[in-house]
Amino acid sequence: MRHTLPLLGRCLGAVLFTAIGLGASGCGDSATVNPEVTLASLTVSPGTLQPGFSSGTTRYNVELTSDTTTVTVTAQAAVSGDTVSIDGEPRTSHTVALGDPGSTTPVSIVVSDSGTNSRTYTVLFKRAAQAGNNSLQSLAISPGTPPIAFNENTLTYTVDVASTVGSVAVTPTLQDSAATMTVNGQAATSAQARDITLNPAGQNTLITVEVTAQNQTKKSYTILVNRGGLSGINTLQSLTVSLGTGTTNLISFSPTTPSYSVNVASTVTTVTVRPTLPPNSNASMSLIVNSGQPSNINSGQARTVTLGQPDSNTLINVIVTAENGNRNTYVVAVDRAPSNDNNLSVLSVRVGSAAQTLSPSPFNRNTTAYRVNVASNVGSVTVSATKADQNAAMAIASATIPNGRVTVPAGTRTGQAPVTLGVQGSETPVSITVTPQTGTPKTYSLTITRLSSNTNLSALNVTAGTTVLPLSPPFDSNTVNVATEITSVTVTATLEDTNATMEINGQGTSSGVASAPITLGVQGSNTNIPIVVIAPNGTRKDYTITVNRAAPAAPPAPASSPDLIPQSDSCPLLEPPDPVDPNQCAPGTSREDNITNVNTPKFTIPQPGAGETPHLYVDGTKVKDGFDQGANTLTPPSPLSDGVHSITSTVSNGGGESGPSPALSVTIDTGAPGTPAP
């Protein structure tokens, strides 16, 4: 509630202030006596006030999207009784119609008290301008050839369809989903296909896609569909380039790849070209070699093309002309090798008629070093080499070839030489030198290894820790004895032929390198360790090492006798019972006198060592093996008879059983008074 002075009081106050010389603002100035006229809240929907509402801030902006047409303003006075008007009308909430996109609509909110005081708040609603994107994201038509290569800035397209096609599906997609479009004047939905009926066969159909942006700017895309018109297909189905009448295609053809390169030997003087059109194609073809005159060629027809001189390039152009006149050219560049070709095209090694494997494999004319392994029983091989250029000269040389070499003159493509091999494990070098008509010779090296059958070891050691254990006898069913405390050994074997391979205990191991630790069996057992040697030629030899791990010695006898536990040592109870300890023995008796009325008493013994098992004897007879579970005590499995008994214990391990401990004399008196053991 706003509180004010009566009018008369405010005027008298003004006179009084004037009389005392302090001055006054007049009776109409209420700023010094009334709270400020303000809003308590101001909200808009939709939108957000910028800056956020504060009662002392009177001017705000609100940014709205272009498709927002109305906004609701709600205001509440800070003081009860003050009035609020929005756009000149008393009201606290009002829906305002906005101007066109891109315009600003001001709204005035005035809060007034009952007097003359008021405050005006202004909100500027800024409606965003409409976007001007009138482009398509994509445009597709099916069927139709060639497929549309769409670009948003390319407005005109042409496709061909067969005369039997009566309609096509056009699918336009908008870039701006808020834009609109029509297909041939009919509203269309973005990314949805629209079926268009075509004009009769032999006629064209124009399809127009018009896009209207939010700001009403327009853009039109057109597609001209030729129904049953001249075909624009100007591609090949296949193209082969071969040597002579051979069927091997020297190129990897694709209808969409226009250029190819072929390398042929210097001795190749012609190639055969065979272009083939797709089925039912009405295109025509012509052939131009280098810059010569074109000559017509039929689909599937083979044409022999004469190449230029060695070290020259021959361009073969296959021109495909579609019915509508569109041309497409495929170019094959044939490089004829120069006469200085110093390469091999084939290199092989045979044992009898069996080809051996080269390493690396397969043969490559640019790789000059090769190796071949043959079996240990092979004493000779035949080396065969073929020149890439038959006009080059070639020599196959080795110290074991009769007269040291075999020469192959120009004009002969292939030569071969018998090569005698050395002993097992030896290498025989062979060189093949190709000398071109002009230029530098090239030498290929071939190393032939006669594999060894050597499976022998030159050294064998068994080690426990750092101690080398003796073998007996060496290299034959070897036996090694080790102490009982040794749990693992390592084996080091050295090969006579380091090209052999080896496994120790199933694991691949290098010559002279210690194996991984090998865990031995339990004390008193044997462990067999296999060693397998594979010679380079595949021959196998097995060695076995037997490691005898000693059994442990029998343990010493327990140092002290078994002890009857107090709970089993009964006594007469005190009468009357002690209120603190109702189990207290009567005077003169105790739970330590080894006299009990319990006929299956429990005994403790010294803690056995690791791996030892305790045993209980009564009057010299073993009655119990091992501790009782949980209590770590020994208890006779059967009741003892009344009378005096001698109680002893022993322990045993893998090495045997100890002697008896000192004896404990225990008296069993089941009729004697006393308290049974709890």
Q: What is the pLDDT of residues 331-356, one digit of tens each?
A: 999 998 877 889 999 999 999 999 99
* Residue in the block written with tokens 């390592």: 490
How far is 538 from 456, CA to CA, in rounded Å? 13
Same domain, 426 and 512: no
Structure tokens at 316: 């073969």
Cross-strand pairs, 351: 354
Task: Kindly give, in sequence order, each residue whose CB lies less than 8 Å from that of residue 104, ignoring residues fewer than 6 positions away.
Answer: 124, 125, 126, 127
- CB 3 within 8 Å of CB 81: no
Q: In the 8-state DSSP scheme, what is residue 50?
A: B
Same domain, 394 and 427: yes
Nearest Cα to 471, choosing from 485, 484, 457? 457
Is the pLDDT reported for residue 364 higher than 90? yes
- CB 624 within 8 Å of CB 605: no
Percent of the chain past pLDDT 90, that is, above it, reads 58
Q: For 46-103, where are the E strands, in sequence order? A: 59-64, 70-77, 83-86, 89-90, 93-97
- CB 241 within 8 Å of CB 273: yes
How far is 422 from 419, CA to CA, in rounded Å? 10
Structure tokens at 99: 């101007």
Same domain, 596 and 514: no
CB atoms within 10 A of CB 374: 21
3-state secondary structure (DSSP) of residue 659: coil
Is the pLDDT reported for residue 32 higher than 50? no
Nearest Cα to 364, choosing from 397, 340, 389, 388? 388
Structure tokens at 587: 């005077």
Nearest Cα to 490, choosing from 468, 508, 506? 468
How far is 40 from 74, CA to CA, in rounded Å? 11
How far is 272 from 604, CA to CA, in rounded Å? 106
Query: Residue 105 belongs to a domain with what CATH number?
Result: 2.60.40
How far is 617 from 648, CA to CA, in rounded Å? 5
Nearest Cα to 598, choosing from 670, 499, 678? 670
Phi-psi region of 75 (alpha: psi -120 to 50; beta: other; left: phi over 0): beta
Is the pLDDT reported for residue 20 higher than 60? no
pLDDT at position 477 is 55
Number of domains, the chain: 6
CB atoms within 10 A of CB 443: 14
Is the pLDDT reported for residue 322 higher than 50? yes
Structure tokens at 275: 């272009």
Dihedral pair phi/psi, residue 302, rounded to 5°: -85, 135
pLDDT at position 48 is 95
**Residue 30, domain member (yes or no):** no
Structural Rg of the chain based on CA atoms: 56
User: N- to C-terminal Cα distance for the chain?
Assistant: 90
pLDDT at position 575 is 76
- CB 674 within 8 Å of CB 571: yes
pLDDT at position 19 is 33
How far is 70 from 98, CA to CA, in rounded Å? 5
Q: What one-letter code names the amino acid at 552?
A: P
- CB 189 within 8 Å of CB 170: no
Same domain, 323 and 354: no
pLDDT at position 26 is 36
DSSP string, 263-292: EE-TT--EEEEEEEPPTT---EEEEEETTS
How far is 246 from 260, CA to CA, in rounded Å? 19
Q: In what order do the strands lie in the sheet with 167-174?
A: 136-142, 167-174, 194-197
Give the chain's length. Answer: 678
Same domain, 219 and 250: no
Question: Could you tell me which residue, 82 or 476, shows the higher pLDDT?
Answer: 82
**Residue 16, domain member (yes or no):** no
Same domain, 268 and 364: no
Residue 576, preceding peptide bond in cis (omega within 30° of 0): yes
* Residue in the block written with tokens 């189905």: 237
3-state secondary structure (DSSP) of residue 313: strand
509-544: pLDDT as tens digits = 999 999 999 999 887 788 899 999 998 888 898 998
40-68: pLDDT as tens digits = 999 999 999 999 999 999 999 999 988 89
CB atoms within 10 A of CB 320: 22
Half-sphere exposure in the Cβ direction for 656 (13 Å, CA): 9
Is the pLDDT reported for residue 375 higher than 60? yes
Same domain, 288 and 360: no
- CB 667 within 8 Å of CB 596: yes
Same domain, 660 and 567: yes
Percent of the chain past pLDDT 70, that is, above it, reads 92
Kindly report the average pLDDT of the chain as a whole number: 87
Q: What one-letter code names the amino acid at 612?
A: E
**Residue 11, domain member (yes or no):** no
**Residue 248, domain member (yes or no):** yes
548-579: pLDDT as tens digits = 888 878 889 999 999 888 888 777 777 787 77
**Helix (H), strand (E) at residue 8:** helix 7-19
**Residue 332, domain member (yes or no):** yes
pLDDT at position 562 is 92
pLDDT at position 17 is 32
- CB 124 within 8 Å of CB 94: no
- CB 525 within 8 Å of CB 457: no
Looking only at Cα atoms, what is the longest distance across the chain? Answer: 149
- Of 127, 159, 178, the last residue of a domain is 127
How far is 39 from 48, CA to CA, in rounded Å? 17
Task: Kindly give, in sequence order, each residue whose CB lies less than 8 Å from that of residue 617, ignoring residues fewer than 6 positions away.
Answer: 623, 647, 648, 649, 650, 660
Dihedral pair phi/psi, residue 13, rounded to 5°: -60, -40
Q: For residue 250, give its domain range.
A: 238-336
Nearest Cα to 224, choosing from 284, 168, 295? 168
pLDDT at position 232 is 79
**Helix (H), strand (E) at residue 354:** strand 354-355
**Helix (H), strand (E) at residue 12:** helix 7-19
CB atoms within 10 A of CB 403: 7
pLDDT at position 22 is 33
Is the pLDDT reported for residue 29 higher than 70? no
Same domain, 537 and 498: yes
Same domain, 121 and 146: no
593-631: pLDDT as tens digits = 888 888 999 999 988 888 789 999 999 999 998 888 767
How far is 674 from 624, CA to CA, in rounded Å? 27
- CB 444 within 8 Å of CB 344: yes
**Residue 175, domain member (yes or no):** yes
Same domain, 533 and 590: no
DSSP string, 454-490: ---EEEEEEEETTEEEPPBSTTSSEEEEE-TT--EEE
212-266: pLDDT as tens digits = 988 888 999 999 998 876 677 899 999 999 997 667 899 999 999 999 999 998 7
- Of 285, 316, 336, the last residue of a domain is 336
Is the pLDDT reported for residue 489 higher than 90? yes
Query: Residue 480 belongs to a domain with what CATH number?
Result: 2.60.40.10
**Residue 674, domain member (yes or no):** no
**Residue 25, domain member (yes or no):** no
pLDDT at position 70 is 96
- Of 85, 109, 127, the last residue of a domain is 127
Same domain, 409 and 470: no
